[in-house]
Amino acid sequence: MPTPPTYLDRILAAHRGAAAADARPVEELRAAALAGPPVRGFAAALRAAQPGVAVIAEIKRRSPSKGDLDPSLDPAAVAADYERGGAACVSVLTDATFFGGSAADLGAARGACALPVLRKDFTVAPADVYDARAMGADAVLLIVAALSGDELASLHGLVTSLGMDALVEVHDEAELERALAVGATLVGVNQRDLVTFAVDTERALRLGGRFPPHVTPVAESGIDGPASAARLAAAGYRAVLVGETLMRSADRAGAVAGLRAASVVGA
């Protein structure tokens, strides 16, 4: 019997289908990107968040595995709370079909704070990068598992040519090597398996000692509170990307502050 499609299969099929149907000329896309607001340095903000681990606080309405988190959230209010709590950057899910997000969510979040913003989405084509810059994103997620070698290199080059930062996401040693081969200097280790969506909280620790000094390592997923953040900071991570834990918190500013404070102990 054929293997049933995974979460990642379905998501990528939808995004690649949309990319194939996009007939907008590249000149139009590039012009819109260059007309976007001035870039805020995403990677620089993470490096400047000392002592302790920087927090990339995520705005996410829902997920395929967890369902609704906060479908009626106000992205501007959430971003303001994150900034008040001491977040270094904000991540915004813009995928509509699977995560309930939108470009409007990103624009509202960025307009409500002074923090750099990551467009968290499944980037598969140049149009995705141009659209990210046009909507105000300061950084773009590139998932190694979702891209061929040529796609990863080309998209990484496009992101940097537009003045943005690329958060290159990996899951294992082989993907880390691919990320480093294209010149990635901001690398995220996603502890969530994109095939099953299960979380392995030891994954980031296993990869913690494998980053060259010039790379800023980020731990993603499975960070459920201050103890997790402190553990990852002690393993060498400069930043943590936290979504579900913050979205479910009744005090989002306080939850961000707690992550920051706990990690300073081991700094």
Residue 91 known to be catalytic: no
Which of 91, 120, 228, 263 is catalytic? The answer is 120
- The 8-class DSSP code of residue 62 comes to E
The answer to whether 82 touches 57, Cβ cutoff 8 Å, is: yes
Check 63, 91, 175, 221 and give the catalytic one.
Answer: 221
Residue 63 appears among annotated catalytic residues? no
Which residues face 242 on adjacent strands?
57
Q: Is 66 a catalytic residue?
A: no
- Considering the candidates 83, 220, 228, 263, report the single residue annotated as catalytic: 220
Q: Give the residue among 144, 148, 146, 149 at the shortest CA–CA distance from 166.
A: 144
Q: How far is it, in rounded angstroms, from Cα 149 to Cα 146?
A: 10
221 catalytic residue (yes or no): yes
202 given a catalytic annotation: no
Residue tagged 């106000």 (tokens): 74
Neighbours of 6 (CB within 10 A): 14
Tell me which of 169, 175, 228, 244 is the catalytic residue. Answer: 169
Q: Rounded CA gap, 64 and 165, in Å?
A: 27
Which residue among 63, 83, 91, 190 is the active-site one? 190
Residues known to be catalytic:
58, 60, 120, 169, 190, 220-221
